[in-house]
Amino acid sequence: MTIKTDNAEGVCRIEIARPEKKNALTVAMYQQMAEAIAAAHEDGSVRAIVLHGQPDIFTAGNDLEDFMKNPPAGMDAPVFQFMMALGLAEKPVLVAVNGAAVGIGTTLLAHADFAYCADNAMFSMPFVSLGLCAEFGSSLLVPLAAGYHKAAEKLLLGEPMSAEEALEMKLVNRILPPGEVLEHTLRQARRFNALPPASVRETKRLMKAGWRSLTEKIIADEAQTFAHLLKSAEAKEAFNAFFERRKPDFSRFQ
Ligand code: COA
């Protein structure tokens, strides 16, 4: 099982468990996570959802091989189902990050309600280096959180972010020692057991209402652009370079 789920003490825990591939995410894994969020939604005993990875890796992002074989086709693709389930979840979503959070692993933070990370966490959105573009609202939400110029370093140049920088950019709430991140996140999630669920739901909805329609518009534009770029020669060069363990060469492109 590469996605493990568990419900206890009012919290639905979704664990990404594919350490041999650095928790790279496949279509099947997105599907399972989308279903787990939907089930948490239906389950009245669940007050909050916690997403986490392994003690030394959150996720290496999209599985690049799977990405080439099964490119996301429109809004029905499991990756969309997962991100929409996460972004539109009525219940609070908390994320615990240990180790690297690459690509969608960083993008999804902008949709979570709370994010906690280890001091060894490393974030990156290397979409441009992969011949792709920002996804799932990050072209709007990252500049909104961190300011345009900082976001440009991270989205245009793909510069990695340390835990401190992610905190400065308001992508995470707090940095903790690696061994404490998950427990702290679960403790925060369990606090919702003592709060009135309808008030939590409505307050969350209102907090996101201001830019919801704009976010949805940007997500649709990003999705179309991303799907187009995924078929490009630039992306092919970038993906081949990763698997051939060499630097990509974009010098022939205009
Ligand atoms: N897709 C498919 N396979 C991946 C992967 C990905 N995104 N990330 C890692 N893997 C695989 C590697 O191919 C390797 O497989 P192998 O053992 O069969 O050769 C295995 O996972 C271990 O990866 P490795 O790169 O050796 O681990 P590392 O600790 O040196 O580096 C990362 C970890 C996350 C920094 C590095 O794997 C990485 O940069 N991955 C790609 C990230 C990326 O570009 N993601 C896409 C974002 S859209």
pLDDT tens column, 92-149: 999 999 999 999 999 999 999 999 999 999 999 999 999 999 999 999 999 999 999 9
Classify residue 149 by burial, with Cβ atoms within 10 Å: 0-12, 13-18, 19+: exposed
Ligand 1 centre to CA of 121 (Å) is 16
141 lines ligand 1 (CB under 6 A): no
On the question of pLDDT at 74 being above 80, the answer is no
How far apart are the C-alpha atoms of 95 and 181, rounded to whole Å? 10
Q: What percentage of the chain reaches a pLDDT higher than 90?
A: 95
Q: Is 4 helix (H, G, I), strand (E, B) or coil?
A: strand
φ, ψ of residue 124 to 5 degrees: the values are: -160, 150
Using an 8 Å Cβ cutoff, are 141 and 208 in contact? no
Ligand 1 centre to CA of 43 (Å) is 35
Take residue 40 and report the two structure tokens written for it: 């948490």
For residue 75, give Cα distances in angstroms to 54, 141, 219. Answer: 29, 20, 10
Please state the rounded mean pLDDT for residues 200-227.
95
135 lines ligand 1 (CB under 6 A): no
What is the structure's pLDDT at 85? 97
Among 22, 97, 120, residue to substitute to test ligand 1 (most atoms within 8 Å of Cβ): 22
81 lines ligand 1 (CB under 6 A): no
Considering only CA atoms, which residue is closest to atom 4 of ligand 1? Answer: 21
Considering only CA atoms, which residue is closest to atom 36 of ligand 1? Answer: 60
56 lines ligand 1 (CB under 6 A): no
